[in-house]
């Protein structure tokens, strides 16, 4: 019994590590390549990156609302990496599971069943954030 408990703890710990790894790998590649893009020294790209960050800052709408808007836009346009990015931001800004599923529902109704494969990967990533 003690052994079973230990085995289970170990298994949970291993799953947790793998999940963190999935999130970390995504973030690491993202950061590394953003640096490579900046190194290209193209003024338009630099300013677009800058503008992109400003878009989601607190204003008439809260950061939480804006991140949900970014998420639904990314889902209907079917951009997996954009979805992951905004899922993280939603998670950090206390969007609940019930709320995020209502965002998913709107995306799938507006964008149709071709959004479903992206939803599968989104749900998987959300569960990795939650663990």
Selected binder of a copy of itself within 4, 40, 94, 130 (CB under 8 A): 40
Distance CA 70, CA 49 (A): 15
Contact between 47 and 41 under an 8 Å Cβ cutoff? The reply is: no
Residue 124: closest CA among 95, 87, 74, 90: 87
Distance CA 12, CA 23 (A): 17
Q: What tokens appear for 71 in the block?
A: 């998420």
Give the nearer residue to a copy of itself in terms of CB position, either 4 or 36.
36
Selected binder of a copy of itself within 9, 33, 92, 131 (CB under 8 A): 33
Counting beta carbons within 10 angstroms of the beta carbon of residue 62, is it exposed (0 to 12), middle (13 to 18) or buried (19 or more)?
exposed
Give the nearer residue to a copy of itself in terms of CB position, either 14 or 59.
59
Selected binder of a copy of itself within 23, 63, 93, 111 (CB under 8 A): 111
Give the nearer residue to a copy of itself in terms of CB position, either 1 or 130.
130
Residue bearing tokens 């663990």: 131
Sequence-distant (6+) residues with CB within 8 A of 33 are none
Residue 130 as a binder of a copy of itself (CB under 8 A): the answer is: no
Residues 65-104 that bind a copy of itself (CB under 8 A): 65-66, 68-70, 72-82, 96-99, 101-104
Note the residues at the interface with a copy of itself (CB under 8 A): 29-30, 33-34, 36-37, 40-45, 47-48, 51-52, 54-56, 59-61, 65-66, 68-70, 72-82, 96-99, 101-117, 119-121, 123-124, 127
């Amino acid at each position: 019994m003690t052994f079973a408990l230990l085995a289970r703890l170990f298994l949970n710990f291993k799953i947790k590590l793998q999940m963190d790894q999935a999130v970390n790998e995504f973030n690491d590649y993202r950061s590394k390549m953003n640096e490579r893009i900046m190194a290209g020294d193209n003024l338009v790209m630099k300013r677009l990156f800058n503008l992109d960050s400003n878009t989601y800052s607190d204003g008439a709408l809260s950061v939480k609302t804006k991140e949900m808007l970014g998420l639904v836009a990314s889902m209907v346009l079917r951009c997996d990496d954009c979805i992951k990015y905004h899922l993280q931001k939603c998670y950090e800004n206390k969007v609940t599971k019930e709320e995020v599923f209502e965002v998913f529902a709107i995306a799938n109704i507006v964008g149709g069943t071709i959004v479903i494969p992206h939803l599968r990967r989104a749900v998987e990533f959300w569960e990795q954030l939650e663990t």
